Chains A and B, each alone.
Chain A
Amino acid sequence: DGGITQSPKYLFRKEGQNVTLSCEQNLNHDAMYWYRQDPGQGLRLIYYSQIVNDFQKGDIAEGYSVSREKKESFPLTVTSAQKNPTAFYLCASIRQPTSGGSTGELFFGEGSRLTVL
């Protein structure tokens, strides 16, 4: 079955360290997203990519970096510049637009929980 795989599910980081969260999809979706989720704040967009080798900052990109070298992969690096990185991170992709219209329906991975020690 097609889907989105995030790893690791749980990750612990010491202050000052960079960590990379993996996101792989086999849905053949062009666009991929990274969201951050904190209690009571819903989902906030970090970065998104609509095509290989191109990506855009979302609302809270500071302290994060991404790459999109392959259609299937969109890894997120949480850098030491991110002041409060403890959160639940969700990767998603969007269904292809159909002819004559678009969808906006997101498909999500299971998430990665990052804790800074």
Chain B
Amino acid sequence: AQSVTQPDIHITVSEGASLELRCNYSYGATPYLFWYVQSPGQGLQLLLKYFSGDTLVQGIKGFEAEFKRSQSSFNLRKPSVHWSDAAEYFCAVATKTSYDKVIFGPGTSLSVIP
């Protein structure tokens, strides 16, 4: 069965520091991969997505993610974190044959220290 894991439940970083949020998936074929962000009490917003091609994907708000097939990973990175990046981050997976069956990871909560 498909699954998505996010090993870090909560991460705290200092403003200006770099950030990496981890995501691993379990699926036989190459899936479609997504990162969503959720501010408190709000819906989710798409940060970036990977379908095919270049394995380094650029997203909004200065985020990027790298798909590594050999590690079944899709880690999210940002070189310099801003206080406004404090939020919940969700990794998600879908497949070409079942594009409407999106599976979410449990989320990583990010706190930013001024």
Chain A positions within 8 Å of B, measured between CB atoms, are: 4, 6, 31, 40-43, 48, 50, 88, 90, 92, 94, 97, 101-111, 113
Contacts and interface: CB of A to CB of B under 8 A. Distances in A.
B70 interface: no
Interface string B13-38: 00000000000000000001010100
B75 to A, nearest CB: 18
18 contacts: A6-B43, A40-B9, A42-B90, A43-B44, A90-B43, A92-B44, A102-B96, A103-B32, A103-B51, A104-B100, A105-B34, A105-B46, A105-B49, A106-B46, A108-B36, A109-B43, A110-B42, A110-B43
A40 B102 CA distance: 18
A102 B107 CA distance: 24
Interface in B67-114: 90, 92, 94-96, 99-100, 102, 104-107
Contacts of A107: 46
A42 B100 CA distance: 18
Contact of B94 (A40, A48, A104, A109): A104
A90 B44 contact: yes
Given A105-B49, A108-B43, A113-B41, A42 B107 contact: yes
A88 to B, nearest CB: 8
A110 B100 CA distance: 20
Contacts of A6: 43
A106 B45 CA distance: 9
Interface in B48-69: 49, 51
A88 B43 CA distance: 10
Given A41-B106, A104-B102, A111 B90 contact: no
